[in-house]
Amino acid sequence: MESFLPFHKADLGDEEIAGVVDVLRSGWLTTGPKVKEFEQEFAAMVGTQHAVAVNSCTAALHLALEAAGLREGDEVLVPTMTFAATAEVVTYFKARPVLIDCTQDTLNLDIDRIEQAITDKTKAIIPAHFAGQPCDMDQIQSIARARGLHVIEDAAHALPARYKGKMVGSIADSTCFSFYATKSITTGEGGMVTTNNADWAARIRMMSLHGLSRDAWNRYSAEGSWYYEILSPGFKYNLTDIAAALGLAQLKKCDQFWKTRERYANFYHEGFRDLPEIMCPEAVPHVQHAWHLYVIQLDLDRLRITRNEFIRQLQQAGIGCSVHFIPLHLHPYYRNVWGYRPDDLPVSNMVFQRTLSLPLYSKMTETDIDRAIQTVRNLVLENRR
Ligand SMILES: Cc1ncc(COP(=O)(O)O)c(C=O)c1O
């Protein structure tokens, strides 16, 4: 029996270990020079003026909405086909997350459904770039501009991604990235907000550390001063220098990781090309897909087994897989508190029955990818109608 191929494994080398050890030896563990350097390198890479490091993408989204001035009773448009974090941050303000259906091809939010969801309470849109495929930002920005809405991107999957030549992270009012353990680069837990708005960057930075006028590095370093003031009741969302050291080493390899994932995504496309039972994800024109996830859709009418059974048999054959996502409107909280029913967002509802995510990461070998392809192919051939 071959060993189990996990759904994800982080790609860490000696550089990451050396970077972390340096920080441990330095005696300064929390937010300090390494975080500053990570922010600068990240801002340079995505081509934005400001980058503020925080301890998760969830924190990044929360602070971006806070800087945008979200208030109780406001509404924010959010895709239903996303992770919990994208919408939960809206509820932190006692505001309302208004869920938008997806399109079947990209699984990104359906832009044709935005206008009808806007009310006089709508303050912002949070497009999430599903699996690393950028949403149509020109269309979203143009609706937002006409209606006076903020656009805050959930780019947890979208590093490194491009839209019409521009890096995701340099396009919207602000963009939030994740460095969670399974993401394209990782700091264990971590996140980043990018923006070209200097006032927002300053507000996000201040609110990420209790709303203090100075951070600890500015108080305890040789040129620092002990004095600080509380300017606003903030949060404890700062990233540590230990995590930033990991991030700096990972950032240098980000493009190389991406090239490997893109190559493997192409292996999957080729491997399934002749199977009408499988719909493969495709990059739309004018984008660089980050290929964080490889999400296929099964044509259940052509198969004798359900998606759940398909996953069970894949796992049994040693291939780890997952489902992205259970649409938000199907979860008890959104049903009970906001009154959503499955058919309210019919495309996501239908797609959810058919999707599964296959392993896609740079630590995989070509043999691993071949094995995943062959196992999926065999399952399809065995269970064809
Ligand atoms: C689309 C999306 N947004 C936000 C997040 C939250 O990221 P973090 O765990 O860094 O808070 C995730 C995490 O999986 C995600 O998939």
When pLDDT is cut at 50, 70 and 90, the band that residue 222 belongs to is confident
Instruction: For residue 185, report the distance from its CA to the centre of ligand 1, in Å.
Output: 13
Instruction: For residue 227, report the distance from its CA to the centre of ligand 1, in Å.
Output: 35
pLDDT at 225: 79
pLDDT at 264: 98
Residue 94 domain-assigned (yes or no): yes
> Nearest residue CA, atom 14 of ligand 1?
83
| The last residue of a domain, from among 250, 279, 306 | 250
Do 96 and 195 have their domain in common?
yes
Ligand 1 atom at minimal distance to the Cα of residue 179: 10
Mean pLDDT of 195-219: 91
Residue 343 domain-assigned (yes or no): yes
Do 178 and 277 have their domain in common?
no
Instruction: For residue 225, report the distance from its CA to the centre of ligand 1, in Å.
Output: 36
Measured at the CA of 142, the angle between CA 69 and CA 152, to 5 degrees, comes to 35
Do 110 and 218 have their domain in common?
yes
Do 81 and 195 have their domain in common?
yes
Ligand 1 atom at minimal distance to the Cα of residue 190: 10
Do 219 and 166 have their domain in common?
yes
Residue 190 contacts residue 179 (beta carbons within 8 Å): yes
* Cβ neighbours for 308, distance < 8 A, ≥ 6 positions apart: none
Residue 153 contacts residue 175 (beta carbons within 8 Å): yes
Ligand 1 atom at minimal distance to the Cα of residue 130: 1
When pLDDT is cut at 50, 70 and 90, the band that residue 1 belongs to is low
Q: Which of 1-15, 31-45, 126-140 has the lowest mean pLDDT?
A: 1-15
Q: Identify which of 178, 182, 185, 246 to mutate to test ligand 1's pocket (most ligand atoms within 8 A of the CB).
A: 178
**For residue 190, is pLDDT > 80?**
yes
Summarised one tens digit per residue, pLDDT across range 146-165 is 999 999 999 999 999 999 99
Residue 203 domain-assigned (yes or no): yes
Do 232 and 316 have their domain in common?
no
Q: Identify which of 57, 130, 133, 293 to mutate to test ligand 1's pocket (most ligand atoms within 8 A of the CB).
A: 57
Instruction: For residue 293, report the distance from its CA to the centre of ligand 1, in Å.
Output: 13
Residue 248 contacts residue 186 (beta carbons within 8 Å): no
Catalytic residue among 9, 123, 164, 183: 183
Do 119 and 188 have their domain in common?
yes
Is 183 labeled as catalytic in the residue annotation? yes
Which residues surround ligand 1 with Cβ inside 6 Å? Answer: 56-58, 82-83, 85-86, 128, 154, 156-157, 178, 180, 191
The CATH code of the domain that includes 106 is 3.40.640.10
| The last residue of a domain, from among 195, 221, 250 | 250
Residue 4 domain-assigned (yes or no): no
Do 43 and 76 have their domain in common?
yes
Question: Where are the alpha helices (H) located in 129-188, listed in sequence order?
Answer: 137-147
Instruction: For residue 89, report the distance from its CA to the centre of ligand 1, in Å.
Output: 11
Residue 277 contacts residue 296 (beta carbons within 8 Å): no
| The last residue of a domain, from among 224, 250, 276 | 250
Q: Domain range holding 370?
A: 254-382
Residue 113 domain-assigned (yes or no): yes
Q: Per the omega criterion (within 30 degrees of 0), is the bond before 325 cis?
A: yes
Mean pLDDT of 297-309: 98
Residue 18 domain-assigned (yes or no): yes
**For residue 75, is pLDDT > 90?**
yes
Do 58 and 204 have their domain in common?
yes
When pLDDT is cut at 50, 70 and 90, the band that residue 213 belongs to is confident
**For residue 38, is pLDDT > 90?**
yes
The CATH code of the domain that includes 268 is 3.90.1150.10
**For residue 364, is pLDDT > 70?**
yes
**DSSP-derived pairing of the beta strands 278-279 and 294-298:** antiparallel
3-state DSSP assignment of residue 276: coil
Number of domains in the chain: 2
Do 231 and 264 have their domain in common?
no
Do 259 and 194 have their domain in common?
no
pLDDT at 215: 74
Do 221 and 347 have their domain in common?
no
Instruction: For residue 182, report the distance from its CA to the centre of ligand 1, in Å.
Output: 10
Ligand 1 atom at minimal distance to the Cα of residue 128: 1
Residue 8 domain-assigned (yes or no): no
Average confidence score pLDDT of the chain: 97
Residue 81 domain-assigned (yes or no): yes
